[in-house]
């Protein structure tokens, strides 16, 4: 294994940019279909508008330059290329913070979060390390099977060792929350704390996979009744994307790599369903573009397959923990497994992508949690 860390810049060939625009311009659109709004998936009018923006007015080069405004690197760990942003703060009291995105996301999710962490107007400052998950964006090609959260967490521990950080915090949401918790369990000697974000809808979805959860809930209790309704809605109407990628990632992957319309619809649907605050459409398109230019729609799906077939959940972290719940409601404390003594924060708005929806709130919570930790 090489400890070599290599500087990296995003430089998408112009031929790839032109090819994307041509494919969008020559897209085969379906005939009008039955349905009302989002009940059967992404409405044609919505996708036409977003695809037109991606083809004609969205400026990839401007967003590529914004990403390249942050120092980026690659290294090889356990046979896998790992891409990461490493943005150091000028503040002498800055603490290293490893932040991990989830699905269907990328490091582009953190573009409005990094600066308030690196050079905050007040409060704790951080050196931010933001890797691309294996199989996502420039952490490709995927080296082989087995890249579930446990193996990723071990790679993150090695990454922080290579960077020379003896004490560091970890943060994540979605898949990144799982990885962050596993890092805390693997490397408690060096991790000062684990901070994760979630929302009650995501928590209800996770609950559908917990054996016996439905049996432990009382259908006559108003809060339990709401949880059961959300679990049922996820099983009936919201789990299709996960079922496909957890069972047939190769098959859906051909379309995600070859069709920009499918990739755009696949990701935009989740952003729309899993947010309740406005998000910048160009930032969404930057995220989709990273999947497109790196052909990582298929490889990201393969990692979801790996996790669905993995039994490696590691040891729970023994370090301080914090839970930030966005869109918190009466179901939150029953669904989110916060251990005794963990920091608990509730935010009334925002949901699955708080770094996109409410970066200021998230930055404040991170500063308040990690500030006293050493």
Two structure tokens written together for 276: 């309740």
Task: Answer yes or no: are the C-beta atoms of 138 and 83 closer than 8 Å.
Answer: yes
Give yes or no: 352 in active site: yes
Residue appearing with tokens 């691309």: 132
Q: Which of 112, 174, 187, 199 is catalytic?
A: 174
pLDDT tens by residue, 216-264: 899 999 999 999 999 999 999 889 999 999 999 999 999 999 999 999 9
Q: Which two tokens stand for residue 1?
A: 């294994």
Q: What is the CA radius of gyration of the chain?
A: 20
Exposed (0-12), middle (13-18) or buried (19+): which is 158, by Cβ within 10 Å?
middle
75-103 per-position pLDDT tens digit: 999 999 999 999 999 999 999 999 999 99
| 70 noted as active-site residue | no
Beta strands in 51-190 (DSSP E): 72-77, 80-87, 95-100, 126-131, 168-173
Do you know the residue count of the chain?
374
Is residue 174 annotated as part of the catalytic site, yes or no?
yes
Query: Tokens representing 323?
Result: 């839970």
Query: What is the C-alpha to C-alpha distance for residues 297 and 309, in angstroms, rounded to an integer?
Result: 19
Residue 309 is predicted with a pLDDT of 94
The arithmetic mean of pLDDT across residues 289-297, rounded, is 98
- The SS3 call for residue 326 is strand
| Domain 5-199+239-370, CATH number (from 2.130.10.10, 3.40.50.1820, 3.30.70.360, 3.20.20.240) | 3.40.50.1820
Pick the catalytic residue from 58, 103, 291, 305: 305
Rounded Cα distance, 294 and 41, in Å: 25
| Res. 1 pLDDT band, cuts 50 70 90 | very low
**DSSP letter (8 states) at residue 215:** G
Q: Which of 168, 187, 352, 365 is catalytic?
A: 352
Per-residue pLDDT band at 2 (split at 50, 70, 90): low
**Run of H or E including 363:** helix 359-370
């Amino acid at each position: 294994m090489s400890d070599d860390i290599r500087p990296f810049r995003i430089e998408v060939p112009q031929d790839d940019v032109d090819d994307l625009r041509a494919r969008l311009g020559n897209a085969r659109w379906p005939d009008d279909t039955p349905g009302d709004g989002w009940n059967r998936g992404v409405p044609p009018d919505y996708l036409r508008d977003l695809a037109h923006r991606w083809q004609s007015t969205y400026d990839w080069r401007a967003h590529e330059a914004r990403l390249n405004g942050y120092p980026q690197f690659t290294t090889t760990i356990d046979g896998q290329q790992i891409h990461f942003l490493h943005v150091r703060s000028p503040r002498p009291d800055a603490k290293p913070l490893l932040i991990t995105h989830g699905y269907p996301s990328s490091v582009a999710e953190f573009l409005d979060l990094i600066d308030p962490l690196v050079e905050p107007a007040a409060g704790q400052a951080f050196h931010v390390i933001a890797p691309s998950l294996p199989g996502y964006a420039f952490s490709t090609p995927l080296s082989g099977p087995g890249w579930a959260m446990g193996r990723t967490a071990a790679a993150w521990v090695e990454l922080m060792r290579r960077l020379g950080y003896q004490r560091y915090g970890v943060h994540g949401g979605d898949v990144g929350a799982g990885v962050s918790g596993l890092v805390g369990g693997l490397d408690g000697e060096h991790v000062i704390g684990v901070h994760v974000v979630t929302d009650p809808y995501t928590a209800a979805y996770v609950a559908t996979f917990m054996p016996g959860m439905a049996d432990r809930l009382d259908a006559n209790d108003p809060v339990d009744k709401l949880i059961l309704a959300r679990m049922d809605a996820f099983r009936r109407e919201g789990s299709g994307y996960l079922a496909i990628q957890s069972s047939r990632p190769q098959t859906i992957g051909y379309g995600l790599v070859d069709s920009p319309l499918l990739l755009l619809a696949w990701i935009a649907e989740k952003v729309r369903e899993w947010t309740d605050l406005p998000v910048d459409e160009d930032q969404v398109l930057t995220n989709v573009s990273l999947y497109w230019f790196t052909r990582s729609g298929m490889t990201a799906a393969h990692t979801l397959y790996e996790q669905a077939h993995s039994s490696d959940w590691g040891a729970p972290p023994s370090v301080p923990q914090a839970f930030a719940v966005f869109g918190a409601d009466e179901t939150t404390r029953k669904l989110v497994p916060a251990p005794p003594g963990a920091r608990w924060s509730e935010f009334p708005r925002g949901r699955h992508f708080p770094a996109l929806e409410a970066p200021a709130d998230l930055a404040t919570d991170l500063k308040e949690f990690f500030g006293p930790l050493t």
